[in-house]
Protein backbone atom coordinates (compact mmCIF):
# COMPACT_ATOMS: atom_id res chain seq x y z
CA UNK A 1 0.00 0.00 0.00
CA UNK A 2 1.06 3.65 -0.45
CA UNK A 3 0.96 4.10 3.31
CA UNK A 4 4.18 2.13 3.60
CA UNK A 5 7.13 4.50 3.63
CA UNK A 6 10.18 3.38 1.67
CA UNK A 7 12.79 1.89 4.02
CA UNK A 8 15.32 4.65 3.23
CA UNK A 9 12.82 7.41 4.09
CA UNK A 10 11.83 5.55 7.22
CA UNK A 11 15.44 5.32 8.27
CA UNK A 12 16.06 8.99 7.52
CA UNK A 13 13.11 10.00 9.72
CA UNK A 14 14.30 7.71 12.50
CA UNK A 15 17.78 9.23 12.22
CA UNK A 16 16.40 12.77 12.39
CA UNK A 17 14.24 11.90 15.35
CA UNK A 18 17.20 10.41 17.17
CA UNK A 19 19.25 13.56 16.47
CA UNK A 20 16.44 15.76 17.74
CA UNK A 21 16.11 13.73 20.96
CA UNK A 22 19.85 13.97 21.41
CA UNK A 23 19.62 17.75 21.10
CA UNK A 24 16.74 18.01 23.50
CA UNK A 25 18.74 16.00 25.98
CA UNK A 26 21.58 18.49 25.52
CA UNK A 27 19.20 21.43 25.96
CA UNK A 28 17.81 20.04 29.18
CA UNK A 29 21.32 19.38 30.44
CA UNK A 30 22.32 22.94 29.50
CA UNK A 31 19.34 24.41 31.29
CA UNK A 32 20.20 22.47 34.41
CA UNK A 33 23.75 23.77 34.10
CA UNK A 34 22.44 27.34 34.04
CA UNK A 35 20.08 26.70 36.90
CA UNK A 36 23.16 25.71 38.91
CA UNK A 37 25.17 28.49 37.30
CA UNK A 38 28.12 26.45 36.11
CA UNK A 39 29.45 25.77 32.64
CA UNK A 40 32.91 24.25 32.28
CA UNK A 41 34.80 26.12 29.53
CA UNK A 42 37.24 23.38 28.62
CA UNK A 43 37.53 23.75 24.83
CA UNK A 44 39.96 25.99 22.98
CA UNK A 45 38.61 26.83 19.55
CA UNK A 46 39.72 29.27 16.86
CA UNK A 47 37.02 31.44 15.27
CA UNK A 48 37.43 29.46 12.02
CA UNK A 49 37.08 26.20 13.99
CA UNK A 50 33.90 27.51 15.62
CA UNK A 51 32.50 28.41 12.21
CA UNK A 52 33.24 24.92 10.88
CA UNK A 53 31.44 23.28 13.82
CA UNK A 54 28.52 25.63 13.32
CA UNK A 55 28.39 24.93 9.57
CA UNK A 56 28.32 21.19 10.23
CA UNK A 57 25.52 21.59 12.78
CA UNK A 58 23.52 23.93 10.54
CA UNK A 59 23.77 21.55 7.58
CA UNK A 60 21.42 19.05 9.24
CA UNK A 61 18.99 21.71 10.49
CA UNK A 62 18.44 24.55 8.13
CA UNK A 63 18.56 22.98 4.69
CA UNK A 64 16.04 25.34 3.12
CA UNK A 65 17.73 28.58 4.18
CA UNK A 66 20.11 30.41 1.91
CA UNK A 67 23.08 30.79 4.28
CA UNK A 68 26.20 32.81 3.57
CA UNK A 69 29.24 32.34 5.77
CA UNK A 70 32.06 34.83 6.23
CA UNK A 71 34.97 34.59 8.65
CA UNK A 72 37.24 37.64 8.93
CA UNK A 73 38.59 36.66 12.34
CA UNK A 74 41.93 34.89 12.04
CA UNK A 75 43.68 35.51 15.36
CA UNK A 76 43.21 34.17 18.84
CA UNK A 77 41.10 31.45 20.41
CA UNK A 78 37.90 31.16 22.33
CA UNK A 79 37.86 29.45 25.68
CA UNK A 80 34.48 27.79 25.48
CA UNK A 81 32.14 24.89 25.89
CA UNK A 82 31.98 24.09 22.18
CA UNK A 83 28.76 22.00 22.15
CA UNK A 84 26.80 24.48 24.22
CA UNK A 85 28.07 27.47 22.24
CA UNK A 86 27.31 25.84 18.89
CA UNK A 87 23.85 24.85 20.18
CA UNK A 88 23.14 28.45 21.22
CA UNK A 89 24.33 29.88 17.90
CA UNK A 90 22.30 27.29 16.01
CA UNK A 91 19.28 28.58 17.92
CA UNK A 92 19.98 32.09 16.55
CA UNK A 93 20.23 30.70 13.00
CA UNK A 94 16.97 28.76 13.41
CA UNK A 95 15.23 31.87 14.79
CA UNK A 96 16.42 33.90 11.82
CA UNK A 97 15.25 31.20 9.39
CA UNK A 98 11.80 31.06 10.98
CA UNK A 99 11.47 34.84 11.12
CA UNK A 100 12.37 35.25 7.46
CA UNK A 101 10.19 32.51 6.02
CA UNK A 102 10.97 30.37 2.95
CA UNK A 103 13.75 31.52 0.65
CA UNK A 104 15.28 33.56 3.46
CA UNK A 105 18.71 35.10 2.93
CA UNK A 106 20.85 34.73 6.02
CA UNK A 107 24.40 35.70 6.74
CA UNK A 108 26.70 34.46 9.49
CA UNK A 109 29.65 36.82 9.86
CA UNK A 110 32.58 36.43 12.27
CA UNK A 111 34.94 39.35 12.76
CA UNK A 112 37.27 40.75 15.43
CA UNK A 113 37.03 44.03 17.33
CA UNK A 114 39.86 44.55 19.77
CA UNK A 115 40.09 41.43 21.94
CA UNK A 116 36.60 40.25 21.12
CA UNK A 117 35.03 38.01 18.53
CA UNK A 118 31.79 39.34 17.07
CA UNK A 119 29.49 36.76 15.63
CA UNK A 120 26.56 38.22 13.75
CA UNK A 121 23.58 36.26 12.43
CA UNK A 122 21.60 38.57 10.17
CA UNK A 123 18.45 37.97 8.16
CA UNK A 124 16.52 39.80 5.49
CA UNK A 125 13.19 39.36 7.28
CA UNK A 126 10.57 41.95 8.08
CA UNK A 127 12.33 43.13 11.24
CA UNK A 128 11.01 43.32 14.80
CA UNK A 129 8.98 46.15 16.32
CA UNK A 130 10.91 48.07 19.04
CA UNK A 131 8.47 47.16 21.84
CA UNK A 132 8.80 43.45 20.98
CA UNK A 133 12.58 43.70 20.57
CA UNK A 134 12.87 45.09 24.12
CA UNK A 135 11.20 42.01 25.56
CA UNK A 136 12.90 39.29 23.50
CA UNK A 137 15.13 37.25 25.76
CA UNK A 138 12.83 37.60 28.77
CA UNK A 139 11.98 34.13 30.07
CA UNK A 140 8.62 32.90 28.73
CA UNK A 141 8.08 35.88 26.41
CA UNK A 142 7.52 34.58 22.88
CA UNK A 143 5.94 35.61 19.60
CA UNK A 144 5.67 32.00 18.39
CA UNK A 145 2.43 30.06 18.74
CA UNK A 146 4.13 27.05 20.31
CA UNK A 147 7.33 28.64 21.63
CA UNK A 148 8.50 28.49 25.23
CA UNK A 149 10.26 31.84 25.17
CA UNK A 150 13.32 30.12 26.62
CA UNK A 151 15.44 29.92 23.47
CA UNK A 152 16.89 33.44 23.57
CA UNK A 153 17.04 33.38 27.37
CA UNK A 154 19.28 30.32 27.15
CA UNK A 155 21.36 31.91 24.36
CA UNK A 156 21.88 34.99 26.56
CA UNK A 157 22.85 32.76 29.47
CA UNK A 158 25.35 30.89 27.24
CA UNK A 159 26.88 34.22 26.17
CA UNK A 160 27.16 35.31 29.81
CA UNK A 161 28.70 31.98 30.83
CA UNK A 162 31.38 32.69 28.20
CA UNK A 163 31.95 36.21 29.62
CA UNK A 164 30.23 37.58 26.55
CA UNK A 165 26.89 39.10 25.64
CA UNK A 166 24.08 38.96 23.13
CA UNK A 167 22.53 41.99 21.48
CA UNK A 168 19.60 42.09 19.09
CA UNK A 169 19.31 44.88 16.56
CA UNK A 170 16.43 45.21 14.18
CA UNK A 171 14.79 47.64 11.78
CA UNK A 172 11.25 47.12 10.54
CA UNK A 173 11.24 46.09 6.92
CA UNK A 174 15.03 45.70 6.92
CA UNK A 175 15.74 42.55 8.92
CA UNK A 176 17.42 41.65 12.19
CA UNK A 177 20.93 41.03 13.44
CA UNK A 178 21.69 38.89 16.49
CA UNK A 179 25.17 39.79 17.65
CA UNK A 180 27.12 37.66 20.09
CA UNK A 181 30.32 39.18 21.48
CA UNK A 182 32.87 36.81 23.06
CA UNK A 183 36.34 37.39 24.54
CA UNK A 184 39.28 36.19 22.41
CA UNK A 185 42.50 34.96 23.96
CA UNK A 186 45.83 34.93 22.20
CA UNK A 187 46.48 31.39 21.03
CA UNK A 188 49.02 29.18 22.77
CA UNK A 189 51.23 29.17 19.67
CA UNK A 190 51.83 32.91 19.83
CA UNK A 191 52.33 32.78 23.60
CA UNK A 192 55.26 30.39 23.43
What integer best gives the mean pLDDT of the chain? Answer: 82
Which of 42, 46, 54 lies closest to 75, judged by CA? Answer: 46
Greatest mean pLDDT range, 29-33, 148-152, 155-159: 155-159
pTM of the model: 0.76
Asked whether the beta carbons of 100 and 116 are under 8 A apart, the reply is no
- Identify which of 128, 127, 126, 107 has the alpha carbon closest to the alpha carbon of residue 118: 107
- In the structure, what pLDDT confidence band is assigned to residue 190 with cuts at 50, 70 and 90? very low
pLDDT at residue 36, rounded to an integer:
66
Instruction: Considering only residues 115 and 152, tell me which one the structure prediction assigns the higher pLDDT.
Output: 115
**Are 123 and 176 within 8 A, CB to CB?**
yes
The pLDDT of residue 1 is 47
| Angular region, 37: left φ>0, alpha ψ -120 to 50, beta rest | left
Amino acid sequence: TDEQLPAATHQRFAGRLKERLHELEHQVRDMLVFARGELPLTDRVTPAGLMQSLQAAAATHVQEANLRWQCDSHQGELLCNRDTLVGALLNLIENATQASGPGARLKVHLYTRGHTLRLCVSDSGSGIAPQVLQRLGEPFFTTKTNGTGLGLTVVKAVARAHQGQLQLRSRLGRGTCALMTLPLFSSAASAE
